[in-house]
Structure 1
Amino acid sequence: MPRVSRRKGDAARRHADTVRFVLFEARPAGLDFTQLVRATDLSACQVRSGIGALKDEAASRGWPPLTWTREVGYQLGADRTALEAYERAVVSQKLNEFRRFITGTVAPHAAAHPNDKWVKHIVAQLNSIESTLDLIASS
């Protein structure tokens, strides 16, 4: 029998329901991770699993998304400014990750093997992704 992803199993869905209930109770305020663990009476691992499952479930059911900021913590809601700030922060984070990956791994690989078909392909694709994320982050 194939193994079910932790984010799609029954336990993850129960943890997601618990996290969602606690976050609805806390609205409009958010909860940081430690507060979420205490309020749900779940372990840190269970809360992480529940957060992942809740993000997936919210997307599939059209519920307000789950966002996180350093100032507020985890929060459910569809406030336009909060969503835009969260999206910009995530895009900036991903842009930094891609740039570090390109400069730290892909560029040295390309320098060592300039005629490698794979490295040419990955350089072209990652440059495209970097350019797109840079446009989004700067707009």
Structure 2
Amino acid sequence: MARRSPTAERHADLIRTALFEVAPADMVLSRLMGACELSRWQTRQGLAMLRDLCAERGWPPVIWSRDMGYHFCASEAELEEWERAWISEKLTQFRRMITGTIGPHLALFPKSVWAGYLSDQMKAIESNLALAARPPH
């Protein structure tokens, strides 16, 4: 297990408290920063720690949506929708890496063992992400 910063844990606790106090109000990042009196960086670090704590302690996960901002979510449908959107975003990033970096690398150095290996691995990941991002039938 990675070492934890006591400061990040304190920030996570401030964010958790703020989310409980305003639930289910619209808690965008700027409002969350103000409610906790944290900088943008501290708030992002606190959110990351809070997500770890939620997983560790069996709490509902913290997600962000346009409608509700940051909030604890215990809705299966909302979680699946959020996860598909997150996976879709990562799929776009993988595709850009494949076409924008690995493809040109292979074009410049067609015998590169590393680039060939990386291309194969990234395409396998792309395929799996594409399956996971599909809407349910």
For residue 22 of structure 1, what is the aligned residue in structure 2? 18
Whole-angstrom CA distance in 2 between matches of 1:109 and 1:138: 30
Q: Larger deviation: 70-79 or 94-103?
A: 70-79
The residue type paired with residue 105 of structure 1 is T
Q: Which structure 1 residue ranges, 5 or more long, are not aligned? A: none
In the alignment, which residue of structure 1 is the partner of 2:84?
A: 88
Aligned equivalents of 1:93, 1:81: Cα separation in 2: 19
The 5-angstrom pairing of residues 117-128 of structure 1 reads 117-128=113-124
Gapped regions of structure 2 (runs ≥ 5): none
**Which residues in structure 2 correspond to 1:1-139 (within 5 Å)?**
8-139=4-135
Cα offsets for 1:107-127 (capped at 9, x unmatched) = 000111111111111011000
- Give the distance between the partners of 1:107 and 1:11, measured in 2 at CA: 42
After superposition, what is the alpha-carbon deviation per residue over 1:19-39, rounded to whole angstroms, capped at 9, x for unaligned?
011111122334100110111
TM-superposed deviation, 1:71: 2.7
Secondary structure at 1:68 match in 2: strand
Identity of aligned residues (%): 43
**Aligned-partner SS, 1:63:** coil
Return the TM-score normalized by structure 2: 0.91
Quick check: 127-136 or 41-50, which moved more?
Answer: 41-50
Q: Segments of 4+ in structure 1 off by > 3 A?
A: none
Give CA-to-partner distance per residue, 1:40-61, whole Å, 9 cap, x none: 1222221111001111111111
